[in-house]
Amino acid sequence: MGRLRGIKGHEAVRAGGVMRQGKGDHVNIKMPSGAIITLPWSKELKIGLLTAAIKKTGLTEEEFLALL
């Protein structure tokens, strides 16, 4: 779980998908699986939010970290 600490939204976008404009400091990312996740762009992501986003995309934590 400690490997997921310190990841910012703009770093998480590198995991794939198509970035779309969101509201304010947030971006929507459409993943190849069809899932759309919304993340804050510049803030450090909290573990619960990042874990939920990874699960929604259908990736494992290891697959996600390999894409960064």
Task: Provide the CATH number for the domain around residue 48.
Answer: 3.30.920.30
How long a stretch of residues is the chain?
68
Query: Got the DSSP string for 1-32?
Result: -GGGTT-BHHHHGGGSSEEEE-STTEEEEE-T
Q: State the pLDDT at residue 33.
A: 78
Global confidence as pTM: 0.77
Residues of the chain with pLDDT below 50 are: none
Structural domains in the chain (count): 1
Per-residue DSSP letter, 6 = T
Residue 13 domain boundaries: 2-67
Q: Which residue has the tokens 């490997």?
A: 3
